[in-house]
Structure 1
Amino acid sequence: MQPAGMRPISFLQPVGEAALVPADSVSWQIFKNPLALFIGGVAAVVLELAEPRVRSGVWNHTTFRTEPVRRLQRTGLAAMVTVYGARSVAEEMIAQIRQAHERVQGVTEAGAPYSAADPALLNWVQATACYGFLEAYCAYVRPLSLHERDCFLREAEPAAVLYGALGAPRSRAEMVAQFTAMRPCLEPSGILREFLGIMRGAPVLPAPLRPLQRLMVRAALAILPGWVRGTLLLDGHLRPWEQRLLRAAGGMADRLVLRGAPPAEACRRLGLPDRYLYDAPRPAILPSCGWDF
């Protein structure tokens, strides 16, 4: 979570300073689960790369192809700081990312101009991240109610505004509208398959767990809307035993307290016990499907 060559970021400081998202939020529950983060992150990137302008910006201006693990660490750290970091730390990091985005621009293979600072593209990237993490948690950890889903989207708004995504979805209805509006723009690409190949083989997990890593990549495709998989020519089928295995792994990960990880350190920064996120009561609301694609 701390990429080599980067200044380490502490989630313990400044003591007592709140994050952009409150500790009793749905976001703090979801982002503590590493399995949901991996699966949701892969799903989000697939959706991003399906949009040709975003795809060109990501593939032509990052080191993902040559340094996939380092790139994943940087992206993961940014997500952790956005959710768990002290507000002043998160605001400083997001400002630096926005400055970097200002320099990312060019033209797609089809001749369409793009800029990483384009609000429409930022809205799409924000929507894909929210969709991926939310659906991965619901599918492989525990179902969330409609109320919890909407809370998660609203909780993301302060950070989204700082990133420049002023029109990011704040409700299930707005998420459906965002996907509907983007539907004509999405297209299959060889880069998508290259990305999936990298994610299957990159040494993200220890060698003995590499088969689970490949399964989690397929699990990411399984949570995409059916029409998205059809448009992108991707297969997201999981066998029943694979679904059960992932749910068991997701449930175990949701109970695993990692004292040196951002969620526990953020709790200690606020004077809360390490187990705060694991012992917190959960709303007794019946789960339900969150989308109407």
Structure 2
Amino acid sequence: MSAIEAVRGRMGAVIFARIAGDEGPQRRDRIHFADGPRRFGHDDPICVVHGDASMFAGGIRALLLQSLHPLAMAAVDQHSGYKGDPWGRLQRTSTFLAETTFGTIEDADRAVRVVRAVHRRITGTAPDGRPYAASDPHLLRWVHVAEIDSFLRAHDRYGATPLDAAGRDEYVAQSAVVARALGATDVPETVAELDEVMAGYRPELASTEAAREAARFILVHPPVPLAMRLPYSMLSAAGIALMPRWSRRELRLPYLPVTEATAVRASGIVITRAIRWAMRPDRSRAGQ
């Protein structure tokens, strides 16, 4: 093994351990190499997007955007324990995405059943007095559309192989399969429908103390080792630059169009390429 490959392997292992946890290698083998029919093919848009390093920037955008629905944020703030176990929450989310995208139909359906069971237990009252339930189809749809809008926009800008118009529509349609299985209703199936649904939620969205606190936690005091702060800050800046201008005002985030069009975009390209290189599949496993 060359020195470069050794470095790549170490970098990839560090990144993978953060997003997948100690049992990540076993889960990866189960998800990707288990026998059985799969809902999506390797070249399907959902696999292309969810398998790309641009997901890191898209994930940061998704978390920030999702926090702007007061009821969805109340559920996260009161039940998720994201501050006490942020990496655990990331690992559970990444495992669910991997299982429902790349796993066998049996594994994907089991993952959905587990999440639905968790959602049924999450109820409460937001600080503004409104009741919420994580199983509410309307809230599930918001979480879904904020997520796929973020993943798709990040892939458009930083993906290795950006999708054409038909591929972007297909990505939205394929993602809708999982959203409906989780209990969301009236789920968009094209980019035009996605844009329409996103706009429809705008009157419901607002800044709350919980949302601003979550943004500070994600961006200012992230739970990452010192050695990872620089690459994490590059990903964070790339994620923020993808956000709508109105959402930044709500979360008190900066808007620097010239810097974002130059330095931030360039650093976003650099860091996503570096992650893509570090996490390139081992050639020895490629034929399995």
TM normalised by structure 1 equals 0.80
Give me the whole-angstrom Cα distance separating, in 1, the residues matched to 2:41 and 2:24. 27
Cα drift, residue 209 of structure 1 = 3.1
- 1:286 corresponds to: none
Change in CA separation of 1:5 and 1:249 when aligned onto 2, cut-off 3 Å? closer
Cα drift, residue 246 of structure 1 = 1.3
Of 178, 181, 184, the residue aligned with 1:165 is 184
Pairing of 1:142-221 with structure 2 (within 5 A): 142=160, 143-200=162-219, 201-204=221-224, 207-221=226-240
Give me the whole-angstrom Cα distance separating, in 2, the residues matched to 1:257 and 1:39. 15
Q: Across the two proteins, how many residue pairs are aligned to each other?
A: 263
Change in CA separation of 1:222 and 1:57 when aligned onto 2, cut-off 3 Å? same
Q: Where does the alignment leave 5 or more consecutive residues of structure 1 unmatched?
A: 275-293
More off after superposition, 138-147 vs 18-27: 138-147
Deviations 1:96-121 (A, max 9, x none): 11001001011111111110000011
Of 220, 227, 248, the residue aligned with 2:246 is 227
- 1:14 corresponds to: 34
Q: Where does the alignment leave 5 or more consecutive residues of structure 2 unmatched?
A: 1-18
- 2:272 corresponds to: 250
- 1:116 corresponds to: 134
2:57 alignment partner, SS class: helix
Cα drift, residue 254 of structure 1 = 4.1
Give me the whole-angstrom Cα distance separating, in 2, the residues matched to 1:6 and 1:137. 24
Deviations 1:44-87 (A, max 9, x none): 11121100010011110111011111111111111111111111
Change in CA separation of 1:80 and 1:6 when aligned onto 2, cut-off 3 Å? closer
1:11 alignment partner, SS class: helix
1:157 alignment partner, SS class: helix
Q: 2:20 touches 2:94 (CA, 8 Å); kept in 1?
A: no
CA RMSD across the alignment: 2.6
Give me the whole-angstrom Cα distance separating, in 1, the residues matched to 2:39 and 2:196. 26
Pairing of 1:264-283 with structure 2 (within 5 A): 273=287
Aligned-residue sequence identity (percent) comes to 24
Give me the whole-angstrom Cα distance separating, in 2, the residues matched to 1:147 and 1:255. 28
2:31 alignment partner, SS class: coil
Cα drift, residue 20 of structure 1 = 2.6
Of 56, 77, 81, the residue aligned with 2:74 is 56
Deviations 1:186-236 (A, max 9, x none): 1112323322332234344x5333112022112212111223323443224
Give me the whole-angstrom Cα distance separating, in 2, the residues matched to 1:26 and 1:252. 22
Cα drift, residue 247 of structure 1 = 1.2
- 1:130 corresponds to: 148
Is the aligned partner of 1:45 residue 2:63? yes
Q: 1:196 touches 1:217 (CA, 8 Å); kept in 2?
A: no
Give me the whole-angstrom Cα distance separating, in 2, the residues matched to 1:199 and 1:254. 22
- 1:291 corresponds to: none
1:156 alignment partner, SS class: helix
Amino acid paired to 1:14: A
Change in CA separation of 1:212 and 1:6 when aligned onto 2, cut-off 3 Å? closer
Indicate the structure with greater helix content: 2
Give me the whole-angstrom Cα distance separating, in 1, the residues matched to 2:41 and 2:25. 25
TM normalised by structure 2 equals 0.82
1:106 alignment partner, SS class: strand
Q: 2:234 touches 2:267 (CA, 8 Å); kept in 1?
A: no
Amino acid paired to 1:11: I
Change in CA separation of 1:211 and 1:13 when aligned onto 2, cut-off 3 Å? closer
Give me the whole-angstrom Cα distance separating, in 1, the residues matched to 2:187 and 2:277. 31
1:60 alignment partner, SS class: helix
